[in-house]
């Protein structure tokens, strides 16, 4: 079998890459090793409404609920509210990813991409040292797909990069170990995403409640991998549930790893581009990676079409992808990484001080940048090392 | 030897992402361990459910 482009992985990154490249005229094959795209979910499903709407035309069934803002809890229980509905814009959606991921794959199919499920990439095909396709296993049978270009959108467990000589192995400092329950509970706030900070709740991470409507929510936590031990994320989540949602009924369980390494040195090699979690493009501070994967996928799809039509799929021919994703999502990822590196070191006392200092401020209409500036003004000593990032 | 408790594993792939020797492969719900494993234990540390263990 032959085509112009093989996309490995049918998550949001892969589907956007396949959709964009197919719409630009390429013959695209997208491989997904699971038999059902989008299932099982490894995600809390929160996204910014504004950014998502810019990228695709939304289908109502993709969205579980719309929230008015976010509430942040300090370890001592004090809370602040950010981005109320009055501020417009930065409200969020909580998606239904099983439906959303499949919907994006459908868009890729509609644009002309061929989608193969239960088809796992096993290695890259090489001829005279250059990549010339993917060797795969399709429903238990071997399959070779010849193509000059491969996009690795194979998520946190990515191997495409490693096969092409890009070391994407995640160090334990650079991955969050996560656990989440889908919970029914009368005490769930249907209108706000909630974030719970504290080293005894989630060491160098946070716990969350992302409401899905009618008193149902994704309640989970992520902790820094280097502070984890076997089974720790699930144990801490059970402990958190007991103290915060003691009457919660668990109807689904999710676990996963979320990269938080900041931008990788290179997301391209001869004949290969990496997008999404495969390129560690998650926001290291929030862990959010859906929109970044989609944005990177769209850029990679455009560059793929150009590179194929110009007949140059070498590193040099793909450099535009590298330059564009770094100028786009890369800047925020780099900044969030520096902020994360600072915040993971804070003690509970520091976090209480920071959140407490905002008690008298009206931050309801602020974005993260504006809030950080106020925090800096109120806590110059604690935040001094972040000066260049904030001001 | 690295053992996988398949009754515990939730097939999330976090362990695959941290393995320095690419010894792990997630085949849908089935985690495979190859001979490349050097029993470093990093995967066991990251596993959110505690499905992995390096046994003497
Ligand atoms: C617990 C948790 C909570 C999260 N919460 C949020 C959140 O609220 N908001 C947010 O924006 N992000 C969140 N994230 C991050 C988000 O889930 C990811 O960033 C996002 O899914 C990345 O998309 P992707 O397309 O890069 O990869 P994925 O969605 O992981 O897709 C990769 C696909 O590749 C397939 N694949 C892998 N290897 C192969 C192979 N060899 N052959 C064929 N197919 C292969 C996989 O089966 C998978 O379907 C969370 C992550 C976790 C773990
Ligand atoms: S990290 Fe644990 S739960 Fe996830 S795939 Fe590996 S063994 Fe299974
Ligand atoms: S013990 Fe180390 S080498 Fe073996 S599978 Fe786990 S991470 Fe890989």
Strand extents, DSSP E, chain A: 5-8, 28-32, 46-48, 63-67, 69-73, 79-82, 92-95, 114-117, 119-127, 130-138, 141-146, 149-152, 175-184, 192-196, 206-213, 216-224, 249-259, 268-269, 272-274
Report how far residue A223's alpha carbon sits from residue B46's, in angstroms, rounded to the nearest whole number: 10
Among chain B residues, CA nearest to A167: B20
Among chain B residues, CA nearest to A158: B17
ipTM of the complex model = 0.98
**How many domains would you assign to chain B?**
1
* pLDDT score of A361: 83
Atom number in ligand 1 closest to CA A281: 19
Topology of the domain covering A47-94+172-259: D-Amino Acid Oxidase; Chain A, domain 2 (3.30.9)
- For domain A5-43+98-170+262-340, the CATH superfamily is FAD/NAD(P)-binding domain (3.50.50.60)
**What are the pLDDT digits (tens) for A36-45?**
999 999 999 9
Say yes or no to pLDDT of A391 above 80.
no
Mean pLDDT of A209-233: 97
* pLDDT score of A91: 63
* pLDDT score of A86: 47
* pLDDT score of A65: 96
Is A120 close to ligand 1, i.e. is its CB under 6 Å away? yes
Band of residue A87 on the pLDDT scale cut at 50, 70, 90: very low
What are the boundaries of each domain within chain A? 5-43+98-170+262-340, 47-94+172-259, 341-390
Q: Is A161 on the interface with B (CB under 8 A)?
A: no
Say yes or no to pLDDT of A306 above 70.
yes
Say yes or no to pLDDT of A88 above 80.
no
Mean pLDDT of A295-306: 98
- What does pTM read for this prediction? 0.96
Q: Is A356 on the interface with B (CB under 8 A)?
A: no
Say yes or no to pLDDT of A90 above 60.
no
Report how far residue A98's alpha carbon sits from residue A59's, in angstroms, rounded to the nearest whole number: 13
The answer to whether the Cβ–Cβ distance between A255 and B12 falls below 8 Å is: yes
Band of residue A89 on the pLDDT scale cut at 50, 70, 90: very low
The answer to whether the Cβ–Cβ distance between B49 and A35 falls below 8 Å is: no
Mean pLDDT of chain A: 94
Tell me the residue range of the domain where B20 lies. Answer: 2-54
* pLDDT score of A203: 95
Say yes or no to pLDDT of A50 above 90.
no
CATH number reported for the structural domain that contains residue B20 in this entry: 3.30.70.20
Higher pLDDT, A368 or A4: A4
* pLDDT score of A205: 95
The residues, any chain, with a CB within 8 Å of residue A239's CB and separated by 6 or more, are none
Ligand closest to CA B20: 3
Q: Ligand 1, residues B10, B13, B29, B49: which to mutate, most atoms within 8 A of Cβ?
A: B13
Among chain A residues, CA nearest to B42: A172
Higher pLDDT, A391 or A104: A104
**What Rg do the C-alpha atoms of chain A give, in angstroms?**
21
| Cβ density class A134-164: b for 16+ within 10 Å, e for less | bebbbeeeebebebbbbbbbbbbbbbbbebb
Ligand 1 centroid–CA A363 distance in Å is 32
Say yes or no to pLDDT of B49 above 50.
yes
The answer to whether the Cβ–Cβ distance between A256 and B13 falls below 8 Å is: yes
Mean pLDDT of A381-390: 86
The answer to whether the Cβ–Cβ distance between A157 and B17 falls below 8 Å is: yes
Is A262 close to ligand 1, i.e. is its CB under 6 Å away? no
């Amino acid at each position: 079998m032959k085509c112009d482009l093989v996309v490995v992985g049918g998550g949001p990154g892969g589907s956007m890459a396949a959709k964009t490249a197919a719409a630009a005229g390429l013959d695209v094959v997208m491989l997904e090793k699971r038999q059902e795209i989008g299932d099982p979910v490894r995600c809390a499903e929160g996204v910014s409404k504004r950014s998502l709407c810019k990228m695709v035309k939304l289908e109502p069934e993709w969205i579980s609920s719309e929230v008015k803002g976010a509430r942040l809890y300090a370890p001592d229980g004090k809370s602040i509210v950010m981005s109320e509905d009055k501020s417009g814009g930065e409200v969020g959606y909580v998606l239904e990813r099983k439906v959303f991921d499949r919907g994006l794959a459908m868009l890729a199919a509609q644009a002309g991409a061929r989608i193969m499920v239960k088809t796992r990439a096993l290695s890259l095909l090489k001829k005279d040292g250059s990549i010339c396709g993917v060797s795969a296993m399709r429903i238990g049978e071997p399959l070779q797909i010849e193509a000059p270009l491969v996009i690795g959108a194979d998520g946190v467990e990515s191997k495409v990069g490693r096969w092409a000589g890009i070391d994407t192995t995640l160090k334990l400092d650079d991955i969050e170990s996560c656990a989440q329950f889908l919970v029914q509970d009368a005490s769930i706030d249907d209108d706000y995403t909630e974030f719970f900070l504290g080293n005894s709740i989630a060491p160098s991470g946070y716990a969350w409640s992302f409401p899905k409507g009618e008193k149902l929510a994704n309640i989970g936590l992520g902790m820094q991998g280097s502070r984890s031990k076997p089974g720790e994320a699930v144990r801490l989540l059970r402990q958190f549930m007991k103290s915060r949602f003691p009457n919660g009924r668990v109807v689904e369980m999710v676990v996963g790893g979320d990269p938080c390494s900041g931008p990788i040195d290179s997301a391209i090699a001869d004949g290969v581009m990496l997008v999404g979690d495969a390129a560690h493009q998650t926001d290291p501070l929030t862990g959010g990676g859906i929109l970044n994967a989609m944005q990177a996928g769209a850029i990679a799809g455009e560059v793929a079409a150009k590179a194929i039509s110009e007949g140059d799929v070498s590193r040099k021919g793909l450099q535009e992808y590298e330059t564009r994703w770094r100028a786009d999502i890369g800047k925020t990822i780099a900044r969030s990484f520096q902020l994360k590196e600072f915040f993971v070191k804070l003690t509970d006392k520091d976090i209480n001080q920071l959140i407490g200092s905002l008690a008298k401020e009206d931050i309801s209409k602020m974005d993260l940048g504006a809030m950080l500036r106020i925090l800096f003004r109120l806590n110059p000593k604690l935040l001094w090392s972040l000066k260049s990032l904030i001001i | 030897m690295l053992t996988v408790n398949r009754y515990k594993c939730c097939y999330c792939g976090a362990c695959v992402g941290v393995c320095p020797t690419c010894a792990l492969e997630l085949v849908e719900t089935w985690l495979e361990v190859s001979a490349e494993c050097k029993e470093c234990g990093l995967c066991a540390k990251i596993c959110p459910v505690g499905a992995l263990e390096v046994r003497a």
